[in-house]
Chain A
């Protein structure tokens, strides 16, 4: 009897959620894991964005939708999700929403928006409601690119190898995702390896712990021909101002060749390192120090300064280990598609970005392999300071 009652309550909630005009609008826009409900006379919205490349653009769209709706109470509340896990919370005064409607917004109004990464209490409230347009078991085909290059050889001043990297990503459940990617050689005057082969095959699980702890566990074929498992723990301190990271991996040299046959070495290798990161929130600038062993079993440190420009990044780095030292700069630039097709069972799109590093001196040391997307690696786009700046810029432009 109790079970029947519970199923009935869930079904009623789902129906009510789907009938809510804001929920309908959000779903029509392609937002996923949508929850819209009223609690103590105030409106609560939850959503996950897989439609817009940058979370700031998605939040702006949600606020625009919210501004067309009838609100009650003092504030409206928005909780953002990633792979079904809650990440950041916004509380927006309804007075401000009214000003958006009447094109009377001022910069001081935007400062009244409250945002926080402390979402544990809210998640308990949100989890009582069913989601609309679930993001699980959808298959995203993403096309990305990668460039290997070498400068300074007198025979050929610039040697390059350009790869196309199609990637299949799917989320099975809260924080559980599978990433399969292949690499195809497009241009190559770098070496004589012209065959295409699987590049990464990773199953990963993200856990969001209380008090902003994050665990990512990944298993499979990682970047740089490493096979094994990797566990990473991150903890945010004082919102995004500081975080620490502990990383442990056990891998061996291995990859899948062009016939998908595993090539491997029997020698296993563990690597572990720890990092501390300070973020100057005013300028979205990260100062990071990482110490420990790295992929080639070298022991040393990695220091970097990185500036975030919404979803683009520029960084300077210096690494020193018992293998030598290396310094240079790098950038992450976005590929030209700000808005993807609506997420459906199967969708094709471009990858989010293109990354390139330049070693000004030294060789590649203190390297770490990529284990695919994770909740914490996506976090900079959800940081309250980043989203508030993005929102402020867009809202003020809208009201000009």
Chain B
């Protein structure tokens, strides 16, 4: 009976990996990767970043919750819009608090092949650099990242290495310097992943699973200390 339940469960789970970052773009737990969702994919989701690591302006007193909508506008172009909420803050005239908004875009320059890694460039909060918005620059980033997968028998190891640069001359960047990570999945549990990554400041360990090809859940330890999580719903628009 247990075996039958397991077979049914495994047949229900999807085949798209859980390559969805906690902050909205395609990625591991926090860092972006060069992978792209399939064309026409729409993702709606929310993440939880623990106290002490979530920063809004110069404050680090509350946890943060990015809520995002991401669309694969073309097979090689991803656009993401995000509201970043500082939890425990009320929107009222006294606090003058309002969640931060941000646009992000990514373009895949190279598709992964047998010997060539996938290569993507991305910019978070680029509208600020264009003078089109006045939002907080806490989550700004401009980066280039490569991703290559290796298959060892039943195991797939996906490695990413990127570099974030100060090219938009904003106040603060999420990824400033070299970042990278590895993500591991097993053929029998292709929808589940285990990942370890370095985001230029902290090290994160996470596990993820995609249910029914649609619902992505991720949980991990931020800086290997505090719990963080993400839930997202993926849908391929027709």
A residues sitting closer than 8 Å to B (CB atoms) are: 152, 154-155, 157, 283, 285, 305, 307, 309-310, 312, 314, 316, 325, 327, 329, 358, 360-361, 393
Contacts and interface: CB of A to CB of B under 8 A. Distances in A.
Contacts of A393: 238
Contacts of A285: 73-74
Interface in B52-82: 71, 73-75, 79, 81
Given A312-B237, A327-B127, A361 B91 contact: no
B101 A360 contact: yes
B42 to A, nearest CB: 8
B50 to A, nearest CB: 24
Contact of B74 (A154, A283, A312, A361): A283
Interface in B115-168: 127, 132-134
Contacts of A154: 91-93, 95-98
Nearest to A326: B132
Contacts of B132: 325, 327, 360-361
The 8 tightest CB contacts between A and B, nearest first, are A157-B91, A309-B237, A154-B93, A361-B133, A361-B132, A310-B238, A307-B73, A314-B71
A152 B98 contact: yes
Contact of A157 (B71, B98, B101): B98
Nearest to B237: A309
A157 B96 CA distance: 11
Nearest to B39: A283
B48 interface: no
Contacts of B211: none
B40 interface: yes
Nearest to B94: A154
Interface string B90-119: 011101111001010000000000000000
A361 B125 CA distance: 13
A156 to B, nearest CB: 8
A87 B164 CA distance: 51
B79 A155 contact: no
B234 to A, nearest CB: 14
A154 B127 CA distance: 23
Nearest to A305: B73
Nearest to B91: A157
Given A285-B74, A314-B73, A361-B133, A329 B92 contact: no
Given A316-B79, A360-B81, 13 more contacts: A154-B95, A154-B97, A283-B74, A285-B73, A307-B71, A309-B40, A309-B238, A312-B237, A329-B81, A358-B81, A360-B101, A360-B132, A361-B134
Contacts of B97: 154
Contacts of A361: 127, 132-134
A309 B79 CA distance: 16
B127 A307 contact: no
B125 to A, nearest CB: 11
Contacts of B101: 360
A314 B70 CA distance: 11
B15 to A, nearest CB: 17
Contacts of B73: 285, 305, 307, 314, 316
A157 B92 CA distance: 8
B93 A360 contact: no
Nearest to A156: B91
B61 to A, nearest CB: 20
15 contacts: A154-B95, A155-B92, A155-B93, A305-B73, A307-B73, A309-B237, A314-B73, A325-B132, A327-B127, A327-B132, A360-B81, A360-B103, A360-B132, A361-B127, A361-B132
Q: Which of B39, B96, B101, B238 has the most CB of A within 10 A?
A: B238
A360 B98 contact: no
Contacts of B134: 361
Contacts of A358: 81
A221 B92 CA distance: 40
Nearest to A158: B91
B74 A307 contact: yes
A360 B238 contact: no
B134 to A, nearest CB: 8
A376 to B, nearest CB: 24
Q: Which interface residue of A154, A157, A358 has the most chain B CB atoms within 10 A?
A: A154
A153 to B, nearest CB: 8
B14 to A, nearest CB: 18
Nearest to A284: B40
Nearest to A318: B132
Contacts of A329: 79, 81
Contacts of A310: 238
A360 B96 contact: no
A361 B81 CA distance: 13
Contacts of B92: 154-155
Contacts of A316: 73, 79
A191 to B, nearest CB: 19
Contacts of B127: 327, 360-361
Contacts of B71: 307, 314
A326 to B, nearest CB: 10
A360 B102 CA distance: 9
A329 B73 CA distance: 12
A329 B92 CA distance: 27
Contacts of A327: 127, 132
A360 B81 CA distance: 10
A287 to B, nearest CB: 12
